[in-house]
Amino acid sequence: MTIQLPQAQAGPATRGPAARPGRDGNGFAVQHRRRLLRADLLTVVAWASVAAAVALWLSDGGLAAAATPAGAVTAAGIVAGLVGMDLVLLMLLLAARIPLVDRTVGHDRALGFHRKLGKPSLYLLLAHGLLIAVGYGMAAGLDPVSEAIALWSLVPDMWLAYISMVLFVAVVVTSLVAVRRRFPYEFWYAVHLLTYAAVGTAIPHQFSVGGLFAEGTWQRWYWAALCLATGAALLYFRVVQPIAATNRHRLSVVRVEQAAPGVVNIVMKGRALDRLAGTGGRFLIWRFLAQGMWWHPHPFSLSAEPVVLAADGTGTLRITVRNLGSGSGGLVRLRTGTRVAVAGPYGLFGTAARTRDKVVLMGAGIGITPLRALLESTPFAPGQATVLLRGHSDRELYLSHEILELCRLRGARLFHLTGPRDKGQSGWLPDDAVHSGYSLTSYVPDAADADIYICGPSAWAGNVIADATAAGVPATQIHHERFDW
């Protein structure tokens, strides 16, 4: 069943920020070029840090020491350790929610790189331990096992390094298993806290055992600065900023109202909410400070622009939540007045990712709700936006009345795509639309010249991406962020 709303007759965009200076014309193209430049710079920094880790060893006359077989094995071990630790630091930085990284590659791509580095860094650290034991053993005339025991018992801080190795193996293996088996978020989180112990126990031996970082060397300063900067970034962006944001906004629950069966709107009041304006689509991490709930972080987007009632930013905001899993279920019973801790907004699923003046918003199920807020705030001229909502029936097109109203007001085309899924093919459209031969370009003929925001279940989103790619939409214009992690 497909409903098309004729293009709205509301003439000038009276409330839309379409006329915001710098955003009209080719504003988004400029924004896109800048983002690509930042992405390239981050790539350079990441690779340069790996090269610098090797250069530290080279600059200490490492090649000269690698002349003998034992020296060569030891040298390979040292380089593996340096590069491995550098990758671990990069992983920590990618997970630190640094705004520069977030605005450039987005939260889920940053975490994608983080995951990709997991196995290589573990292999390098294992190789480091193994090669050093063999290399030292060759020089001292011992077998690697005896050498490893000698290192453990004789050399200060080495026992910590052994513990670190065990922790690293535990963290990476359980992460891989946890991802595959879909362990609860809390388990995965607890495992990741071990990472700090793993890194913490690895650091002492780097400075006390390796001659490379002996006191008075510039290499020691560089390495210490690198470790400290990473720690400071984690502390600031993951701990200090969330506490500051919670303190700034002082959010508390005003009411929980049913939006649809199994779906609730949670309305909160707070201060300085003007600072959260225009963040539609991006997600925030919410903690409801009630018994049994405070430790459970929920990543949700706003489902509407904050309503600011006073000059100091006092007002209300709203999220829309479906009963997903054990954590979200309890949200239905939230009491009025419950304090709320908040962090964010995070992610690139918003106006900051725009590359074109035209925009297409495609949502399915509960994935519709972030698009509702994005539709309200992202700039476009009347006629340049299309909204496609997908659900089994009209009941699953959450907030569809509000979206209809916004489309009228701002001049966007709206399609309701309801009905059962096509069984045979991997389509994102309802059965009847597929049989009619429809695809993305049937609804959005100029899709190739638009930014496409996709929010919904991963399988559905994957099908949309495939269709959009087939329609000639470049990958840089396809915006999709996982929201089910």
Return residues touching another protein (CB under 8 A): 36, 39-40, 43-44, 46-48, 50-52, 54-65, 70-71, 74, 135-136, 139-141, 154, 156, 209-212, 214-217
Q: Which residues contact 256 (CB under 8 A, 6 or more apart)?
A: 264, 265, 266, 267, 331, 332, 333, 334
Could you give the CA distance from residue 158 to residue 436 in angstroms, rounded to a whole number? 69
Residue nearer to another protein on the CB measure, 61 or 437: 61
Q: Find the shortest distance in angstroms from Cβ 446 to another protein.
A: 23
Q: Closest CB to another protein among 36 and 232?
A: 36
Q: Hunting for tokens 């070029």 — which residue is that? A: 33
Q: Which lies closer to another protein via its Cβ, residue 41 or residue 232?
A: 41
For tokens 């020691």, the residue is 220
Nearer to another protein, 2 or 59 (CB): 59
Question: In Å, what is the CA distance from 318 to each residue of 253, 286, 306, 310, 472?
Answer: 10, 12, 7, 17, 36
Q: Which is nearer to another protein, 79 or 368 (CB)?
A: 79
Rounded Cα distance, 176 and 169, in Å: 11
211 in helix, strand or coil? helix
Q: Which is nearer to another protein, 61 or 424 (CB)?
A: 61
Indicate the residue among 55 and 332 with the shorter CB distance to another protein.
55
CA-based torsion, 280, 286, 289, 290: positive or negative: positive
Backbone angles phi, psi at 482, to 5 degrees: -65, 135
Residues 6+ apart with CB under 8 A from 282: 301, 344, 345, 346, 347, 348, 349, 350
CB of 210 to another protein, least distance (A): 7
Q: Provide, rounded to whole angstroms, the least separation between the CB of residue 55 and another protein.
A: 3
Minimal distance, residue 467 CB to another protein, in Å: 24
Radius of gyration of the chain measured on its C-alpha atoms: 26
Angle between helices 144-154 and 107-140 (to 10 degrees): 100
Sign of the CA dihedral with 211 first, then 76, 167, and 179 last:
positive
Q: How far apart are CA 40 and CA 232, in angstroms?
A: 24
Peptide linkage before 382 cis (omega within 30 of 0): no
**Nearer to another protein among residue 161 and residue 399 (C-beta):** 161
Taking the least distance from each CB to another protein, the nearer of 59 and 252 is 59
Whichever of 99 and 211 has its CB closer to another protein, that residue is: 211
The DSSP line for 225-278 is HHHHHHHHHHHIIIIIHHHHHHHHH-EEEEEEEEEETTEEEEEEEES-GGGGTT
Amino acid residing at 350:
G
